[in-house]
Structure 1
Amino acid sequence: MASKPKLPIPSLFLLVLTINLAKAEPQVPCYFIFGDSLSDNGNNNNLPTLAKVNYPPYGIDFPEGPTGRFCNGRNMQDFIVEHLGFQIYDIPPFAEANKDDDQCNLKGVNYASGSAGIRDETGQKLGERVPLNEQLRNHKTIISRISRELGDSSAKELLSQCIYSLAIGNNDYINNYFQPEFYNTSLQYTPEQYAAVLVEQYSQQIKSLYNDGARKFALYGVGLIGCPPYTREVYGTIGSVCVDKLNAAANLFNERLMPLVEELNRDFTDAKFTYLNPSPTVIDYALSGIVNFLGSCCEIGGGGGELCVVNSKPCIFRNQYIFWDGVHPSEAMNKLTAGIAYQTKTSTNGVPFTIQELAEE
Structure 2
Amino acid sequence: MKLQMLCLALVLLAVETNAIKQGKNVTIPALLVFGDSIMDTGNNNNLPTLLKCNFPPYGKDFPNGFASGRFSDGRVPSDLIAEKLGLAKTLPAYLNRNLKPDDLLKGVTFASGGTGYDPLTAKIMSVISVWDQLTYFKEYISKIKQHFGEERAQNILDHSFFLVVSSSNDLAHTYLAQSHRYDRKSYANFLADSAVKFVRELHKLGARKIGVFSAVPVGCVPLQRTVFGGMLTRGCNRPLNYMAKQFNARLSPALESLDKELDGLILYIDVYDTLFDMIQHPKKYGFEVADRGCCGSGALAVSYMCNILNPFTCSNSSAYVFWDSYHPTERAYQVIVDNLLDKYLSKVF
Q: TM-score, normalised by structure 2?
A: 0.84
Between the two proteins, the alignment pairs up a number of residues equal to: 324
Residue 209 of structure 1 pairs with residue 202 of structure 2: yes
Q: Secondary structure of 1:113's match?
A: coil
Kindly state the Cα deviation for residue 177 of structure 1 after the two structures are TM-superposed.
0.5
The equivalent of 1:227 in structure 2 is 220
8 Å CA contact 1:118–1:172 kept in 2: the answer is yes
The equivalent of 1:356 in structure 2 is 346
The equivalent of 2:286 in structure 1 is 289
The equivalent of 2:63 in structure 1 is 63
The equivalent of 1:121 in structure 2 is 120
The equivalent of 1:5 in structure 2 is none
Taking a change above 3 Å as real, the CA distance of residues 302 and 236 of structure 1, as seen in their structure-2 partners, is closer
Matches of 2:31 and 2:140 in 1, distance apart? Answer: 12
Q: Secondary structure of 1:116's match?
A: coil
The equivalent of 2:8 in structure 1 is none
8 Å CA contact 2:78–2:109 kept in 1: the answer is no
Q: Please identify, of 116-125 and 245-254, the stretch whose mean Cα deviation from structure 2 is larger.
A: 116-125
One-letter code of the match for 2:173?
A: N
Taking a change above 3 Å as real, the CA distance of residues 145 and 174 of structure 1, as seen in their structure-2 partners, is same
Kindly state the Cα deviation for residue 266 of structure 1 after the two structures are TM-superposed.
1.3
The equivalent of 2:7 in structure 1 is none
Kindly state the Cα deviation for residue 155 of structure 1 after the two structures are TM-superposed.
2.0
Matches of 2:156 and 2:43 in 1, distance apart? Answer: 25
One-letter code of the match for 1:69?
A: R
Residue 194 of structure 1 pairs with residue 187 of structure 2: yes
The equivalent of 1:141 in structure 2 is 139
8 Å CA contact 1:115–1:175 kept in 2: the answer is no
One-letter code of the match for 1:343?
A: D
Matches of 1:312 and 1:253 in 2, distance apart? Answer: 36
Kindly state the Cα deviation for residue 42 of structure 1 after the two structures are TM-superposed.
0.3
Taking a change above 3 Å as real, the CA distance of residues 99 and 150 of structure 1, as seen in their structure-2 partners, is closer
8 Å CA contact 1:123–1:175 kept in 2: the answer is no
Q: Please identify, of 51-60 and 307-316, the stretch whose mean Cα deviation from structure 2 is larger.
A: 307-316
Taking a change above 3 Å as real, the CA distance of residues 108 and 274 of structure 1, as seen in their structure-2 partners, is same
The equivalent of 1:48 in structure 2 is 48
Kindly state the Cα deviation for residue 286 of structure 1 after the two structures are TM-superposed.
4.3
Q: Which runs of 4+ in 1 moved over 6 A?
A: none
The equivalent of 2:250 in structure 1 is 256
Aligned runs of 1:306-345 on 2, under 5 Å?
307-313=305-311, 314-344=313-343
Kindly state the Cα deviation for residue 82 of structure 1 after the two structures are TM-superposed.
0.9
Q: Secondary structure of 1:88's match?
A: coil
Matches of 1:257 and 1:212 in 2, distance apart? Answer: 21
Matches of 1:204 and 1:237 in 2, distance apart? Answer: 37
Matches of 1:340 and 1:167 in 2, distance apart? Answer: 18
Kindly state the Cα deviation for residue 247 of structure 1 after the two structures are TM-superposed.
0.2
Kindly state the Cα deviation for residue 99 of structure 1 after the two structures are TM-superposed.
6.0
Kindly state the Cα deviation for residue 144 of structure 1 after the two structures are TM-superposed.
1.1
Render the CA deviation track for 1:256-293: whole Å, top value 9, x for unaligned.
1101111111111x211111123435699546411211
Taking a change above 3 Å as real, the CA distance of residues 250 and 119 of structure 1, as seen in their structure-2 partners, is same
Higher helix share: 2
Q: Secondary structure of 2:179's match?
A: helix
The equivalent of 1:348 in structure 2 is none
Kindly state the Cα deviation for residue 103 of structure 1 after the two structures are TM-superposed.
5.9
The equivalent of 1:34 in structure 2 is 34
Q: Secondary structure of 2:119's match?
A: coil
Kindly state the Cα deviation for residue 156 of structure 1 after the two structures are TM-superposed.
2.1
Q: Superposition RMSD on alpha carbons, in Å? A: 2.7
Kindly state the Cα deviation for residue 43 of structure 1 after the two structures are TM-superposed.
0.3
The equivalent of 1:350 in structure 2 is none
Segments of 5+ residues of structure 2 without an aligned counterpart are 1-10
Q: Secondary structure of 1:140's match?
A: helix
Kindly state the Cα deviation for residue 205 of structure 1 after the two structures are TM-superposed.
1.4
